[in-house]
Amino acid sequence: MFAVASALFGTASCTSRENIYSGTENSMSEITTNDSLQVATFGTGCFWCTEAVFQQLDGVTKVESGYSGGKVKNPTYREVCSGLTGHAEVIQITYNPAKVSFEELLEVFWGTHDPTTLNRQGADEGTQYRSVIFYHTQAQKELSEAYKKKLDASGAFDNPIVTEISPFATFYKAEDYHQNYYNLNESAPYCSFVIKPKVDKFKKVFADKLKK
């Protein structure tokens, strides 16, 4: 995975997105899944790209785009884009650990964005595009920190990893038009020229982990 990570990084901007609706809130205590499912929350820049990647993984049952890590309740997309709310664009993943482990989710996380650029992914700049893991359990925290340390020690990246690893507090689901964006808008220019090549590369690298 380390050798192919850089080939998957995107470079185009998501900042042309428009339309504003209100988000919905989920705190740690409010997230409910059945006993066999778990939740992970990752930020890797543009959530359209991240959502499209993780939707392909076997064992992932749901992916929602939204905002976490900020100080304003129920932020809108425009507010988050201002960089003043403190939120990151994230995806919240519901997954079956019997089919895909948190470690495997981390492998995809590290391998599909550049975790060495502070508050930036490609042309997208601002704290809302930061690389971040919001852990839900102590086990997720320990696994994330250990993986980050291992990657840095391996020299997989030319520069040190700057990924934030913080406790999960609240997830605000993004506006409806952000959800399942790539699948619903594959012919849109951004999807065709930015997201599709990234998804195609991801499918080649992680072919053994895809939904059948």
Give me the pLDDT at residue 212, please. Answer: 87
Q: How far apart are CA 73 and CA 166, in angstroms?
A: 18
Give me the pLDDT at residue 177, please. Answer: 96
Q: Which of 127, 142, 115 is nearest to 44 (CA)?
A: 115
Q: How far apart are CA 157 and CA 4, in angstroms?
A: 11
Tell me the two tokens of residue 104: 């495997």
Beta bridge partners of 124: 121
Q: How far apart are the first and last CA of the chain?
A: 21
* Residues that are catalytic: 46
Q: Which of 198, 68, 171, 207 is nearest to 128 (CA)?
A: 68
**Residue 85 DSSP class:** S
Give me the pLDDT at residue 21, please. Answer: 34
> Among positive and negative, which fits the CA dihedral 74, 177, 203, 117?
negative
**Other CB atoms within 10 A of residue 105 CB:** 24
Q: Which of 112, 97, 77 is nearest to 197 (CA)?
A: 112
Indicate the SS3 state at residue 167.
strand
- Sketch out the chain's domains with CATH numbers: 21-193 (3.30.1060.10)
Query: pLDDT 10s digit of each residue in the chain, 212 long?
Result: 444 444 454 444 454 444 333 345 554 434 445 679 999 999 999 999 999 999 999 999 999 999 999 999 999 999 999 999 999 999 999 999 999 999 999 999 999 999 999 999 988 999 999 999 999 999 999 999 999 999 999 999 999 999 999 999 999 999 999 999 999 999 999 999 999 999 999 999 999 999 98
Give me the pLDDT at residue 2, please. Answer: 44
Give me the pLDDT at residue 18, please. Answer: 41
Give me the pLDDT at residue 34, please. Answer: 64
